[in-house]
Amino acid sequence: MNHLYPIFLKVHELNVLLIGGGNVGTEKLEFLLKSSPKAQVTAVSREFSQSFIDLAETTETVTMIEDVYHEKYLGAKHIVIAATDDKAVNRQIRDEAKERFLLVNVADTPALCDFYLGGIVTKGNLKVAISTNGKSPTAAKRLRQLLEDVLPEELDDLLDNLNAYRETLKGDFEYKVKAMNEITEGLVKRK
């Protein structure tokens, strides 16, 4: 059973530390920027791949520091992603981050993670997260691709219209919930 609690973080308002500038680090940065183009990321690596540099240069919110990992980089951070190719360094990053009560993701090591970077489908304001509890990133990727194909682009129009309707409602919370349920019930009824 998947016991994970899904949340949507405002990473444009949080400070993310990403350690590793190779293929895995690039993948993690790509995921962050796809979901939150203004994510505040400090990346630390002995060296950065050209693909990492190219991606990081697409936004002003990514800072690259060429250096080996040191605990000092954990200061003023909220989230840490360890994506080096050295398991001992990744473990060290995780342990030192946990001492500071920081949330940590260690690439390809689910047992050391506080959270996973799951599959994300975005259609305007709608965002759907997919988790396989760390069991199969490939399955999450395929489900993401499927949902991207079947969910219409017009979903954002629907959300805008429902929000406009909700803004017109007067009354207590219970009344508003009932009214929203009545108007949206037709969306799920089979014909």
Would you state the pLDDT for residue 76? 98
Enumerate long-range contacts of 96-102, CB under 8 Å, 24 or more apart: 96/71, 100/74, 102/74, 102/77, 102/78
Q: pLDDT tens for residues 83-127?
A: 999 999 999 999 999 999 999 999 989 899 999 888 889 888 999
Radius of gyration, CA atoms only, the chain:
20
Asked if pLDDT for residue 188 goes beyond 80, the answer is no
- pLDDT category at 154 given cuts 50, 70, 90 is confident
Would you state the pLDDT for residue 118? 80
Asked if pLDDT for residue 35 goes beyond 80, the answer is yes
pTM: 0.87
Would you state the pLDDT for residue 191? 65
- pLDDT category at 137 given cuts 50, 70, 90 is confident
Query: Considering Cα of 2, then 4, then 8, then 9, what sign does the dihedral take?
Result: negative
Would you state the pLDDT for residue 136? 85
- Segment 124-131 shows an average pLDDT of 92
Q: pLDDT tens for residues 41-86?
A: 999 999 999 999 999 999 999 999 999 999 999 999 999 999 999 9
Spatial separation of the C-alpha atoms in residues 20 and 45, rounded to whole Å: 5
Asked if pLDDT for residue 21 goes beyond 90, the answer is yes
User: 156: number of CA atoms within 13 Å, CB side?
Assistant: 7
Task: Find where tokens 């799951």 sit.
Answer: 118
Rounded-to-5 percentages of helix, strand, coil across the chain: 45, 20, 40
Asked if pLDDT for residue 18 goes beyond 90, the answer is yes
Task: Find where tokens 């990727």 sit.
Answer: 141
- Segment 5-31 shows an average pLDDT of 96
- pLDDT category at 132 given cuts 50, 70, 90 is confident
In a 3-state reduction of DSSP, which class is residue 151? coil
- Segment 146-160 shows an average pLDDT of 91
